[in-house]
Structure 1
Amino acid sequence: MMNKREQKKRSILEVAQKIFSRFGLNKTTMDEIAKASCMGKATLYHYFRDKEQIFYEVVREEVKTMQDAINNAIKDISNPKERLRIYIRVRLEYLNRLEITYSALRDQYLEQLTSVKKFRADFTDYETQILNSIFREGIDKKFFVIMNISEVIKIFTLALRGMELYMITNSDMEINKQEIDLVTDTLLYGICK
């Protein structure tokens, strides 16, 4: 159960998420977040040291939401090929939905923020663990023939980053399930037995 302070922080983050998604990090101010949260700017600083910390917390929450969705979507799937397909589909679909994270990937300025670099590194670690687990199980169950798992993980990660880049640079174009499945099939044919 959340105490009063945690509830207030949660409320601030919900308000900030809406503001960041509308204006981005650069154009959002602590004043705007404080005003929309019905508090003074000085009070806001009792909860967060700066808007970058608020932004990081919002991104962290969005990434956690995506990770939870991925974990729930793949947990009961016993076929490694299907688990990989669902992983890729849910990951890319969530990226479309996560407004702040999506804008973080799109905004060049954010590349410089240590917090964004950390969230990207953390997500890469998470993704590596998921893919490693799927590939190892696929090898054990004779679905996949992989000589070097770390290299295949790198290839899949690069392919997914390429899909992200496509989505980011063509923000008016959404990737549909058929396109996601086509990419997944293309990647799988290189590792299926």
Structure 2
Amino acid sequence: MSQEDLVLVIKKAARDLFRKYGYNKTSVNELAKQANISKVTFYKYFSSKETILHEVLLDYIRENVQDILSSGVREKDLPTFLANTILRVSRVTYTVCNEFVGWEFIRESTNAQEYLKTLSDDLEFLLLSSFIQNEAIGNTIVEEKLTFLIKTSKNIVFSFAFTAVTDADVKKNFISFQKEILPYLVQATIA
């Protein structure tokens, strides 16, 4: 098996286990066992459990952002395209935190807070570069306005995700964001 294939096997094992049990309840021993490798081999390719989590999450987000951007090309106008794209990406971001990491761990751990800041910054960079490369967006809206839209949306989604107690609260917050906040953010971005 090539090194690239082995890394993919390890990432798939991590993705499956993080999604099933969450970051906090998954050990490096379990990751190695699931990937059918030794713990030493795991550390040869990833310096820590946090490192593989980060790579798995960015891979997942990158795949979804590309799917979202390519499927949204059919939207009839730029404001609708932007609003729908931001909303879909926000849901992907929430899913990542909810299903892979786990909100209990995020809310209770100082290390998770630092990690989430890094993930948030990387997500922002990924979105901005993806949006700039997208013809419908990149040729129409200046980078500073895209940065405003992405940063503001990301901060709002993370803030309500941190304060929501139940999934019903999250759903209400997403609906509120979609109907009451996002249209104004998009309008400010394309103005």
* SS at 1:28 equivalent: coil
Aligned-residue Cα RMSD (Å) equals 3.5
1:13-162 pair list within 5 angstroms: 13-77=11-75, 79-98=77-96, 99-100=99-100, 108-113=110-115, 117-129=117-129, 130=131, 134=137, 137=140, 150=144, 153-154=147-148, 157-162=151-156
Partner Cα distance (2:92, 2:37) in 1: 32
C-alpha contact (below 8 Å) 2:149/2:186 kept by paired residues: no
State yes or no: 1:166 paired with 2:160: yes
Amino acid at match of 2:114: Q
Query: Residues 167, 111 of structure 1: CA spacing in aligned structure 2 closer, same or farther, 3 A cutoff?
Result: closer
CA contact (8 A) 1:85 1:184 kept: yes
- Is contact 1:102-1:168 (8 Å) kept? no
TM-score, length-scaled by structure 1: 0.70
Q: Aligned letter for 1:31?
A: N
User: What is the CA distance between 1:159 and its match in structure 2?
Assistant: 3.8
CA contact (8 A) 1:73 1:90 kept: no
Unmatched tracts of structure 2, length 5 or more:
none
1:22/1:67 CA distance change after superposition, 3 Å: same
Superposed displacement of residue 22, structure 1: 4.2
1:70, distance to aligned residue in structure 2 (A)? 2.7
Is the CA contact (8 Å cut-off) linking 1:12 and 1:37 kept in structure 2? Answer: yes
Equivalents in 2 of 1:43, 1:191: separation in Å? 47
Q: Is the 8 A contact 1:62 1:101 kept in 2?
A: no
The one-letter code of the counterpart of 1:88 is I
Bigger helix fraction: 2
TM-score (norm 2): 0.70
CA separation of 1:100/1:19 partners in 2, compared to 1, >3 Å: closer, same or farther?
same
Q: CA deviation at 1:101?
A: 6.4
What one-letter code is carried by the residue in structure 2 that aligns with 1:112?
E
- With over 3 angstroms needed to count, the CA separation of the structure-2 counterparts of 1:179 and 1:102, relative to structure 1, is farther
Deviation per CA, 1:44-95, whole angstroms, max 9, x where unpaired?
2233232222112112212212321232133344621111122122112222
